[in-house]
């Protein structure tokens, strides 16, 4: 044991010149499935140690590998930029199955799409002339003679150890060729002759092709590979039954290469007289998607995920074959996604509250947006989003048959207050295009870290308005939505009501630029009795700041989970709440609402309304049961607020 450890710790370049009978060498050749077409995953890239070695057939400067010099066998074994091969887990299986004093070495020469003639010495010159252009670079990597490269390195390796077998995966290019088996025998016989190998001691192990449940692109090749031992009696066929494959049905996926590689290793171990033992393979924790799961309405068409089941659980999948760790972060909880062995990661959440939720994925510490979902501006950046559906109780924010639809327009206007062009969204009711009627205007603000598209994309404001107007519950009105200068993260500063730093640059824009633009370009009723402002979260804070300082311009106001806290009702806004008669005369409706859970519960909105009422202020409160600081709360709030405004 001491001698073995000393040998293993020696630098590879200083290995003894004497042939080590316990260093078993295997030659690997073939086409793309031996070359490796799947990206290695984390478990494949972990070195199995100095007992499994590779003699590179080409230089790989990026990894410090030199042709003909032994190194630890970690993917890629073939050439730079190739993938996982059966040889990877073949070697790991032998290391696990054989005694610790035995080392395994592989020499790997493979070219995607190559005909078996490309390995026949006498046929190579003619084959080179007919080889397709895309193959020429790969052939040149082996000096246009892959057979010679394999033999040259094998002879060098024989100075260190003993060749114990030849691994082949080839045949797809020769599907249906009746001469294929005979040509394979010629390659094998020539190798045995050139390397002075005894055929009875050195088998040819031929892996079968991708089957894909009988739908493999080269499924016709299976029979000719199965019958190879009839032509070459030292050939053993390695079954590919149930080995998983990639979407092209031509190449195995990473899990398929692992399985096939283990089968190669098991066959060799048995031939050498050892009981095969499989190395540890991280098997994916299979996530079962129930039959009742449906695509989320926020899923980009053409994708199979995200899905939502009837319990409100969300199912996510992302293709990330090179990732080590993938997380989906939703509703303040992180779920570690599980690899499925095919380069994908999957996760299922706990039941989620109905409504809209932002979410992110994270690969190896980097946040990104799930490419399978629509994007929404939230959390100060573009984000993924998913809708967990309500039942029929959510019909008020869904488009309905027979309900005339208004329009949400995208407008640009110039702000003199900030010397810049700005963007806003404007809703006009369905009837707006049909006459010359003038309309009241609601200025509707989003919350911190969101933007002017939030109310129409996440909030479905237009459907809420259409349905309420159609049912006669709300008067037809124009709704204007602007960014409010609160897209960027909170900057701190003095943000007491009426003295705000964050977002206060919007106040002049609204009063001096946006309102005049809307009144000048849309048919509006321009007096204060026909102008309202409302907002969610920090948009509610802005609503208080703007309206209570400009009651000559607004007569209606509302907050939804409004960021109104720490307010001294007796002194705030020049003591306006201490003058209830004046306030109630000017403000026809003060509406405030919040959810019953989490952050909304801590805001104390209900208590504030009670205190205002006690001071004689006519304030109305609505509570959204079971919801937190989220869009379902604010949809419900808008649905309750809109019927109350612009009515005497």
> Can you tell me which residue has the tokens 């098997």?
283
State the catalytic residue, choosing from 251, 463, 530, 629: 251
Which helix (H) or strand (E) covers residue 264, if one does? helix 254-271
Question: Is 430 in contact with 468 (CB distance < 8 Å)?
Answer: no
CA–CA distance, 30 with 209 (Å, rounded to integer) = 12
Q: Specify the pairing of strand 589-595 against strand 235-238.
A: unpaired
CA–CA distance, 70 with 51 (Å, rounded to integer) = 11
Within 10-85, residue ranges assigned H as helices are 32-35, 42-45
CA dihedral angle for residue 612, residue 616, residue 618, residue 624, rounded to 10 degrees: 30
State the catalytic residue, choosing from 20, 32, 253, 456: 32
First to last CA, the chain: 96
Task: Judge whether 350 counts as a catalytic residue.
Answer: no
Rg over CA atoms, the chain: 36
Distances in Å between the Cα of 197 and the Cα atoms of 49, 166, 204, 489 are: 28, 11, 12, 71
Beta bridge partners of 330: 333, 359
CA–CA distance, 574 with 507 (Å, rounded to integer) = 18
Task: Judge whether 248 counts as a catalytic residue.
Answer: yes
The tally of CA atoms less than 13 A away on the side-chain side of residue 377 is 17
Q: Specify the pairing of strand 366-368 against strand 355-363.
A: antiparallel
State the catalytic residue, choosing from 122, 189, 248, 282: 248
83: tokens are 């993938």
Which helix (H) or strand (E) covers residue 548, if one does? helix 538-549
Main-chain phi, psi angles of 270, to 5 degrees: -65, -45
Nearest to 490 by CA among 476, 479, 501, 475: 501
The catalytic residue positions are: 32, 248, 251
């Amino acid at each position: 044991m001491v001698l073995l450890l000393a040998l293993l710790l020696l630098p590879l370049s200083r290995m003894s010149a004497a042939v080590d009978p316990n260093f078993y060498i295997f030659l690997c050749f073939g086409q793309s499935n031996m070359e490796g077409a799947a990206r290695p995953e984390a478990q494949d890239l972990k070195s199995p140690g100095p007992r499994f070695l590779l003699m590179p057939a080409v230089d790989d400067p990026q990894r410090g590998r030199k042709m003909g010099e032994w190194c630890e066998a970690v993917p890629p074994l073939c050439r730079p930029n190739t993938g996982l091969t059966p040889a990877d887990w073949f070697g790991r299986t032998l290391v696990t199955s054989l005694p610790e004093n035995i080392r395994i070495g592989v020499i790997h020469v493979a070219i995607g799409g190559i005909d078996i003639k490309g390995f026949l010495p006498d046929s190579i010159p003619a084959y080179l002339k007919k080889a397709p252009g895309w193959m020429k670079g790969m052939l040149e990597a082996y000096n246009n003679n892959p057979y010679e490269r394999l033999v040259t390195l094998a002879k060098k390796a024989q100075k260190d150890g003993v060749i114990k077998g030849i691994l082949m995966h080839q045949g797809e290019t020769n599907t249906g060729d009746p001469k294929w088996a005979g040509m394979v025998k010629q390659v094998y016989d020539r190798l045995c002759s050139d390397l002075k190998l005894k055929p009875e001691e050195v088998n040819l192990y031929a892996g079968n092709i991708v089957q894909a449940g009988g739908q493999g692109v080269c499924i016709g090749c299976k029979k000719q590979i199965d019958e190879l031992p009839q032509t070459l009696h030292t050939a053993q066929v390695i079954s590919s039954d149930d080995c998983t494959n990639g979407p092209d049905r031509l190449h195995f996926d990473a899990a398929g290469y692992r399985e096939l590689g283990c089968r190669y290793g098991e066959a060799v171990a048995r031939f050498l007289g050892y009981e095969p033992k499989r190395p540890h393979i991280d098997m994916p924790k299979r996530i079962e998607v129930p039959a009742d799961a449906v695509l989320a309405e926020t899923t980009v068409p053409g994708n199979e995920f995200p899905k939502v089941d009837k319990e409100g659980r969300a199912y996510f999948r992302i293709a990330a074959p090179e990732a080590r760790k993938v997380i989906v972060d939703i509703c303040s909880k992180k779920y570690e996604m599980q690899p499925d062995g095919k380069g994908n990661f999957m996760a299922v959440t706990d039941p989620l509250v109905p409504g809209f939720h932002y979410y992110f994925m994270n690969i190896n510490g980097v946040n990104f947006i799930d490419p399978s979902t629509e994007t929404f501006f939230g959390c100060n950046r573009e984000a993924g989003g998913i809708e967990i559906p309500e039942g029929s109780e959510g019909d008020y924010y869904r488009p309905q048959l027979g309900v005339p639809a208004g329009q949400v327009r995208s407008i640009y206007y110039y702000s003199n207050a900030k010397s810049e062009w700005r963007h806003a969204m404007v809703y006009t009711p369905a009837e707006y295009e049909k006459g010359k009627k003038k309309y009241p205007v609601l200025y509707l603000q989003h919350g911190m870290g969101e933007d002017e598209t939030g109310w129409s994309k996440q909030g479905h404001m237009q459907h809420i308005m259409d349905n309420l107007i159609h049912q006669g519950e709300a008067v037809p009105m124009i709704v204007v939505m602007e960014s409010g200068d609160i897209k960027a993260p909170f900057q701190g500063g003095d943000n007491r009501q009426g003295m705000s730093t964050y977002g206060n640059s919007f106040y002049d824009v609204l009063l001096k630029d946006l309102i005049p633009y809307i009144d000048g370009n849309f048919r509006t009723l321009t007096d204060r009795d026909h102008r309202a402002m409302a907002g969610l979260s920090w948009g509610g804070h802005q609503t208080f700041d703007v309206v209570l300082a400009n009651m000559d311009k607004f007569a209606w106001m509302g907050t939804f989970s409004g960021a109104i806290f720490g307010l001294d009702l007796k002194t705030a806004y020049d003591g306006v709440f201490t003058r209830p008669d004046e306030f109630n005369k000017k403000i026809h409706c003060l509406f405030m609402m919040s959810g019953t859970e989490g952050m909304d519960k801590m805001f104390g909105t209900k208590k504030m309304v009670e205190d205002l009422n006690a001071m004689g202020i006519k304030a109305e409160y609505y509570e959204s049961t079971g919801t937190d600081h989220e869009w379902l709360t604010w949809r419900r709030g808008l649905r309750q607020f809109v019927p109350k405004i612009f009515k005497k």
